[in-house]
């Protein structure tokens, strides 16, 4: 036991030395321990914030995509409805034939169809036709009901009735085959969707 101090004075010095070393170790270790604890807390907090941000981003992206899908579906539905109601350019002759059929179904005679200048628009062009029909007053109402039931949009915008030809008919009266028949001129309006013309094929370079 020669390594241990023998005198009380040496023992006190040894205890004081151990105490100093313990204090020094505590002085250096405590800040690092506190810093390590703070660092662990910060790491946990950052991880929580990252998770929250990622969750919010997923929810936002999911919501935006869903909104876009809903809007796209609504646009497709509206486009389908529009295409059912608005004729294309090559469907206009068939539509005029449907108008003539609507007149004949009402018991009217079609005196003529006169096209008017096309009104150009940004997305739709407006087509107008003045139709002369001959018959009775109540038949005109039936004809307008028939036109209103057509699959395509056809709207009467002008409507006038004049007496047919006869002894007391005015000079500008329209000739009719039946006595007492009335003649009506109706301006019908429809819309045609603008279509982008196909680009001409590029000419091949001559070799």
| 188 or 83, which is more confident | 188
Of the candidates 63, 66, 43, 65, the residue with the CA atom closest to the CA atom of residue 55: 63
Rounded to the nearest 5°, which phi and psi values hold at 178?
A: -105, 140
Per-position DSSP letters for 76-119, written without gaps between them: HHHHHHHHHHSPPGGGHHHHHHHHHHHHHHTT-EEEEEEE---B
Please tell me which of 12-21, 174-183, 184-193 the model is most confident about, judged by mean pLDDT.
Answer: 184-193
The mean pLDDT value of the chain amounts to 71
Per-position DSSP letters for 2-26, written without gaps between them: TTS--SHHHHHHHHHHHHHHHHHHH
Torsional sign, CA 157, 163, 169, 175: positive
- Give me the pLDDT at residue 117, please: 92
Q: 89-193, superfamily in CATH?
A: Ribosomal protein S6/Translation elongation factor EF1B (3.30.70.60)
Residue 22 pLDDT greater than 80, yes or no:
no
| 135 or 180, which is more confident | 135
Quick one: tokens of 67? Answer: 């909104």
Q: Cβ distance 107 to 135 under 8 Å?
A: yes
Looking at residues 48-53, what average pLDDT do you find? Answer: 70
Residue 170 pLDDT greater than 50, yes or no:
no
Angle, CA of 17, 20 and 23, to the nearest 5°? 150
Residue 94 pLDDT greater than 70, yes or no:
yes
Angle between helices 137-148 and 92-105 (to 10 degrees): 140
């Amino acid at each position: 036991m020669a390594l241990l101090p023998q005198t009380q004075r040496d023992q006190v010095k040894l205890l004081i030395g151990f105490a100093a070393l313990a204090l020094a170790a505590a002085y250096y270790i405590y800040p690092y321990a506190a810093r390590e604890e703070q660092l662990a807390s910060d790491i946990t907090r950052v991880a929580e914030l990252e998770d929250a941000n990622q969750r919010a981003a997923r929810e936002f992206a999911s919501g935006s995509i869903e909104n876009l899908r809903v809007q796209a579906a609504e646009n497709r539905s509206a486009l389908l409805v529009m295409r059912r109601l608005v004729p294309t350019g090559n469907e206009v002759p068939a539509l005029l034939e449907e108008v003539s059929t609507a007149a004949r179904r009402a018991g009217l005679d079609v005196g003529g169809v006169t096209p008017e200048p096309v009104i150009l628009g940004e997305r739709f062009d407006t087509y107008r036709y003045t139709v002369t029909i001959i018959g009775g007053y109540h038949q005109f109402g039936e004809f307008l009901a028939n036109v209103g039931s057509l699959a395509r949009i056809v709207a009467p915008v002008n409507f006038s009735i004049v007496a047919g030809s006869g002894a007391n008919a005015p000079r500008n009266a329209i000739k009719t085959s039946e006595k007492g028949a009335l003649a009506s001129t109706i301006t019908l309006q429809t819309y045609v969707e603008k279509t982008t013309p196909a680009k001409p094929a590029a000419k091949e370079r001559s070799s």
